[in-house]
Amino acid sequence: MQLYLIRHGECELDDADPALTPLGLETVRQIVFQTEQRRAEAPEVIFHSPLQRARQTAECFVEYWKAPLRMAEWLLPHAEPSQVFDQLNAGSGTRLALVGHMPNLGRLLAVLLWGLPAREATVPRAGVAALQTPVWEPGKAKLEWFLKPDEETS
């Protein structure tokens, strides 16, 4: 099974539900291009948190992958990895993209790779982690590749 963990791009700081900044949108588009260069297989669904910055980031990936978007409360910043595993094991698909936030994505990445207890991991803004796993269980995934924005654009 294939899983892409994608963190939203840079956003405005003066709003309860901020939008991506122009730089954040450009950085996400650059990461989409880098993802395309890797010939990343399209997910069946792109799940995103209900927050605007995650939705905007997901929409950029739709331009490349042409996969349907679905809003997911379980991708909010402080959702627990167990909530995500519940959804993945409920039959969400075998090739998925999850667009969300820290600390949720970092904890999820750590649990997927190293199991429990959860360790600290960070996904930078506009970063993408591509994982392969035989099952949706802690400690079973393998990191295939990891993209982060160029230093001069972040």
| Span 104-125, pLDDT tens digits | 999 999 999 999 988 889 999 9
Count of domains observed in the chain: 1
Query: What token pair was written down for 59?
Result: 């929409």
pLDDT digits (tens, 9 = 90+) for 31-74: 999 999 999 999 999 999 999 999 999 999 999 999 999 999 99
CATH code of residue 59: 3.40.50.1240
Beta bridge partners of residue 146, listed in sequence order: 129
Measure Cα distances from 150 to 19, 31, 46, 110 in Å: 21, 9, 24, 23
Q: Which domain holds residue 138?
A: 2-153
Distance from C-alpha of 140 to C-alpha of 124, rounded to nearest angstrom: 23
pLDDT digits (tens, 9 = 90+) for 89-103: 998 889 999 999 999
The structure's pTM equals: 0.94
| Band of residue 127 on the pLDDT scale cut at 50, 70, 90 | very high
DSSP code for 75: G
